[in-house]
Structure 1
Amino acid sequence: IVAQRYNVSREAQDEYALISQQRTAAAQQSGKFDDEIVPFDATMLVKDKETGEVSEKQVTLDRDECNRP
């Protein structure tokens, strides 16, 4: 849809996404986001792959963990 509507090729979109992810990783490593993100506690659900049992684990989130450099 983006390629047709805005005349941007899939390859150009993929290249932009890769560069964006690399920039985010570099910024995280250099601490550029440290003053922008407030750590907070959360409960994470963890599923045991063998038994299927789900348990809770307390974690502190202090950065964007979805970056894919």
Structure 2
Amino acid sequence: YFDAKSQPDAPRWLLLDVKALRKTRLLGLPELRANPALADMTLLQRGSRLSITPVSDEHWQLITGTLLGL
């Protein structure tokens, strides 16, 4: 999306290239909710939208280490 009002030194839009490093099994919400250490995770709070939920480093490490065994 081109925004004529956007300045090159302070862009309104950013494009990031993302590359999957490995495929994992799917984790469902019930499995995430069953882990007490993830109780305060934004994703598991009422009213959260799955598509735009941030994940903290602490929660990510717990998910990849404990639940996925990576």
Q: TM-score, normalised by structure 2?
A: 0.19
Q: Highest relative contact order (Cα 8 Å, sep 6+), 1 or 2?
A: 1
Q: What TM-score does the superposition give when structure 1 sets the normalisation length?
A: 0.19
- Greater strand percent: which structure? 1
Larger Rg: 1
